[in-house]
Chains A and B, each alone.
Chain A
């Protein structure tokens, strides 16, 4: 279980997050939504200690990660798989080596075992044949899927997705959403999805946290979101559903 307690963060005196407290339960899919610049990605990076809070703390299984030594923190991070917004694939390596990288670094598997595992991960993201391709030869959607294969290669307990569908066409976005759901089932992982894509949220999330200008504005289950009375959340959802052209949902609001 991950608990964020009273997280505040300022960059150069400029506040970005204000007093955010949020619990992420084991096995759930939590979507963190909000407009661009609302602090979603910054909050996500706090959860693995990539950014230290100005105030507050992050507990993983009851342990405050900011009291850990760097080497202890690295061990905690090995329980996470992270899909970064741009994929963050290592462009000096081909797709196979990208996915193999965590296995070669953190396990004592033989090359034959690594090959089997990499092909398994690439198959899970429905790209079994891209191994020899350089990352620059892949489309944006394929890069995200290879990055996802890398993120799951160590069978993480927690998977963090930073804008997994941003910049993708609707069909590829749906494919990524389906992948997230299927990986969640296969790996029994806890997933945290940072997004502003309501279509994805409604399709994959169990619970939703809405951030607005660095504040946690609303938390609830995905079923409660249409009944929510928070005007900021309502505006956000409405704007999103107009964008994706779902008149029924708009009417419901």
Chain B
């Protein structure tokens, strides 16, 4: 590949991604046709991911509690500080980011592998040849499911994460549950969960749209599918980090 082609490649990639999303948006009026796929994807992205999200969030909340207690609790600082740190950490950062990273691996990789396999076995060509809008049929439901279900999973992650923190604080003898909650409420701002939900929505879009893009434009055989799957997971994680910082700078 020439130097010019190498320089142009990322811009071509971004252009193709933007065009794909524009075509998916144009299929929105037909979403009723694809509603069965939308419900299937909502279950696969949302319901089936709930146990692993709950597990990861619960442990994140518990570990944050133990580490906060280890670092901050002293005779000069009230114990309620643990709740004041753990709850906003889950709501502002960990709830959305933990959910995003897990879904980048679990959902992003699955979507890229599915669409990639469909591409290399001509199943996508078969859909188009029948006269079906393959982007509307395959991509729109997956991206919509991500945008709808990731905020729901974020809420679950926050509840389970804070719950895990309360449980460990209580069982570990750091502070009683009531004091944890008192600390959490003391510094609660109503905008915090709104900010977390906005982040989760953006992450949901990034994970599913990047995975769809990588899968839809897969080339080659099994190796191409493997490459798309890896790229989908890694690229989604990078974009989650970038979006996390950008949204914090923009909205906080």
**Using a CB–CB distance below 8 Å, which chain A residues touch chain B?**
45, 48, 50, 70, 74-78, 80, 82, 84-86, 88-91, 101-102, 105-106, 160
Q: Which residue of B lies closest to A12 (CB)?
A: B5
Q: Are the C-beta atoms of B130 and A102 separated by less than 8 Å?
A: yes
- Report the minimum CB–CB distance from B32 to chain A (whole Å): 13
Q: CA–CA, A77 to B134, complex, Å?
A: 13
- Residues on A with C-beta less than 8 A from B132 are 74, 105
Q: Are the C-beta atoms of A88 and B121 separated by less than 8 Å?
A: yes
Q: Are the C-beta atoms of A90 and B123 separated by less than 8 Å?
A: yes
Q: Are the C-beta atoms of B129 and A77 separated by less than 8 Å?
A: yes
Q: List 9 A-B residue pairs with CB atoms under 8 Å apart, sorted by A's residue number.
A: A50-B125, A50-B128, A77-B129, A77-B131, A82-B125, A85-B122, A88-B122, A90-B126, A91-B123
- Residues on B with C-beta less than 8 A from A90 are 123, 126
**Using a CB–CB distance below 8 Å, which chain B residues touch chain A?**
117, 121-123, 125-126, 128-133
- Report the minimum CB–CB distance from B209 to chain A (whole Å): 20
Q: Which residue of B lies closest to A76 (CB)?
A: B131
Q: A105 is contacted by which of B125, B128, B130 (Cβ under 8 Å)?
A: B130
Q: Which residue of B lies closest to A85 (CB)?
A: B122
Q: Which residue of A lies closest to B120 (CB)?
A: A86
Q: B125 is contacted by which of A74, A78, A84, A106 (Cβ under 8 Å)?
A: A84
Q: CA–CA, A50 to B129, complex, Å?
A: 7
Q: Are the C-beta atoms of A74 and B133 separated by less than 8 Å?
A: yes
Q: Are the C-beta atoms of B128 and A77 separated by less than 8 Å?
A: yes
- Residues on B with C-beta less than 8 A from A160 are 129
Q: Are the C-beta atoms of A70 and B133 separated by less than 8 Å?
A: yes
Which are the 10 A-B pairs with shortest beta-carbon distances? A78-B131, A77-B131, A88-B126, A88-B122, A82-B129, A74-B131, A84-B122, A88-B123, A102-B130, A48-B129
Q: CA–CA, A144 to B132, complex, Å?
A: 21
- Residues on B with C-beta less than 8 A from A76 are 131
Q: CA–CA, A84 to B119, complex, Å?
A: 13
Q: Are the C-beta atoms of B131 and A88 separated by less than 8 Å?
A: no
- Residues on A with C-beta less than 8 A from B121 are 86, 88, 91
Q: B129 is contacted by which of A80, A86, A105 (Cβ under 8 Å)?
A: A80
